[in-house]
Structure 1
Amino acid sequence: MEIKKSPKSNLENFSKIFMQIGLVLALFVTYVAIEQKTYDKVYGDLGTVNMNAEMEEEIPITERVEPDQPKTPPPPTPDKIEIVEDKKEIEETVIESTETDETKKVVVSEIVEVKEVEEVVEDVNFMIIEDVPTFPGCSGNNEERKACFSQMVQKHFVRKFNADLPNELGLSPGKKKVFIGFKIDKNGNIVDIQVKAPHPKIKDEVDKVMEQLPKMKPGKQRGKPVGVKYSIPFTLVVE
């Protein structure tokens, strides 16, 4: 059996009426809320407040006292004022012009030629010379020529020196030191031979041997030939 619903009981037919009633109620509530009056709350008597009493402050009055400054007495008045006439003449200083007059002839005095003083380089030690003297037959760089120079001088001494001489002089047996110094001058010659030996005859023999050294290529300092000092010790064995 199918149940039929009465058209009068369907609430959807009254939806418009309900909406209109709701709008009217909302407008009424809004109107009543706007028109409602409010009053300030009244409190009892709180007394009188005096704001000026708090702002007033007693400020003591001070007075600035300036120290007394000593007064300087005025200068004494001269008894008599003398008027002196200024008769001294002032000499004017004439400043001569340094400009050259083109119309006048300029006389040129004799021109003296100044010779350049040649820098004198003193003798230099063999160990610090920039360009070492070269013994004949030596080559290479500066250090190689230094080593070769020392070797060739020692070989020359051993070959030329009379080894039997120390034994013939009656010296005590043992090792004897001989110190030799000389200079290779700017021309490569051996000069200024100095010998310190245990016997005068040994000294003479060493002088003779060192004078027989060959001429060498001179050493240079700053690119110029200079004298080079060289020293070497020798040991003689006396039996």
Structure 2
Amino acid sequence: MIDIKKNPRVQLDNYSKIFFQIGLVLALFITYFMIEYKSFESDNVGNLGVVTLTEELKEDIPIVMRQELPPPPKAAPVLMEQIKVVEDDLKIEESVIESTETDETSAVVVSNIEIVEASETEEIVEDIPFVLIQDVPVFPGCKGNNIELKNCFSDKVSEFFGRKFDPGLPQELGLLQGKKKIFVVFKINNKGNIVNVNARAPHPLLQKEVVKIISALPQMKPGRQRGIPVTVSYSIPITIIVE
């Protein structure tokens, strides 16, 4: 008989399935064990920081030497006022004060020479504004009451200025076209004369001409305050048109 020997490799193939199953079971077991395993954190005491306690800084307290202060100066002694006892033997003369009261039976005599009647002098204020004067200055030819005399005065002054003023003067002075304002202030003294004429104009020569015209106003009847002639101040604005 011929013995047929089996190939060892074929015999190993028969056990490979068993090894595979055993390995699969083992892998499943390890996986299950790893899933179900619980771990806890360990107290790492060694990793904690080290706290070093140091003593607080000690403050050096300076040593102060004791100083002996001199004793305060002694106060000067207070001298007591000496009281002198006066004996009762001294005679004191008393002054008798007479009463100044009078009754109905006693008459009081007053000398007429001692009584001097002082006459009150009425003070008149000079330089009264035209709008406050009681009796306005009267321009020659004006008539009527106080209001009419005021209006007439203003009209006459404006008319007088219009006749004497040269309208071509502003153009000769080279003033620009348009309206020009001139302000004039003057006084009528207690004699009725025109004094203290002042003007403000756009040009010095024009200002000089305005002062000259206003100074030539005629003499007027002076204004009166409480019946006494006084100086009256008057102001007038003048408008000229330069073409």
Q: Is TM (by shorter chain) over 0.5?
A: yes
**More moved, 213-222 vs 113-122:** 113-122
How far does the alpha carbon of each residue in 1:182-233 deviate from its partner, in whole angstroms, 9 at most, with x for none?
Answer: 0111010001111010000001100110111000001111111111111111
Aligned partner of 2:169 in structure 1 is 165
> How many correspondences in the alignment?
151
**Alpha-carbon RMSD:** 3.2
Q: 1:187 & 1:208 partners in 2: Cα distance?
A: 20
Aligned partner of 1:149 in structure 2 is 153
- Matched AA of 2:192: G
Judged with a 3 Å threshold, the aligned counterparts in structure 2 of structure 1 residues 181 and 83 are, in CA distance, closer, same or farther, namely: closer
Q: 1:171 & 1:88 partners in 2: Cα distance?
A: 104
TM-score (norm 1): 0.55
Q: 1:89 & 1:155 partners in 2: Cα distance?
A: 94
How far does the alpha carbon of each residue in 1:46-94 deviate from its partner, in whole angstroms, 9 at most, with x for none?
Answer: xxxxxxxxxxxxxxxxxxxxxxxxxxxxxxxxxxxx9942413214358
Q: 2:237 & 2:223 partners in 1: Cα distance?
A: 22
Does the 8 Å contact 2:124/2:225 carry over to 1?
no
1:90 to 2:93 alignment: yes
Which stretches in structure 1 are left out of the alignment for 5+ residues?
1-81, 100-107
- Name the SS of the counterpart of 2:88 in structure 1: coil
Aligned partner of 1:185 in structure 2 is 189
1:121 to 2:142 alignment: no
Aligned partner of 2:51 in structure 1 is none
Map 1:10-89 to 2 at 5 A: 84-89=87-92
TM-score (norm 2): 0.54
Judged with a 3 Å threshold, the aligned counterparts in structure 2 of structure 1 residues 83 and 215 are, in CA distance, closer, same or farther, namely: closer
- Name the SS of the counterpart of 1:180 in structure 2: strand
Judged with a 3 Å threshold, the aligned counterparts in structure 2 of structure 1 residues 157 and 83 are, in CA distance, closer, same or farther, namely: closer
- Name the SS of the counterpart of 1:233 in structure 2: strand
Q: 1:133 & 1:83 partners in 2: Cα distance?
A: 86
- Name the SS of the counterpart of 2:238 in structure 1: strand
How far 1:236 sits from its partner (Å)? 1.2
Q: 1:115 & 1:208 partners in 2: Cα distance?
A: 45
Q: Alignment partner for residue 206 of structure 2, among 202, 206, 209? A: 202
Q: 2:86 & 2:134 partners in 1: Cα distance?
A: 85
How far does the alpha carbon of each residue in 1:5-38 deviate from its partner, in whole angstroms, 9 at most, with x for none?
Answer: xxxxxxxxxxxxxxxxxxxxxxxxxxxxxxxxxx
- Name the SS of the counterpart of 1:159 in structure 2: helix
Q: Percent identity, please.
A: 53
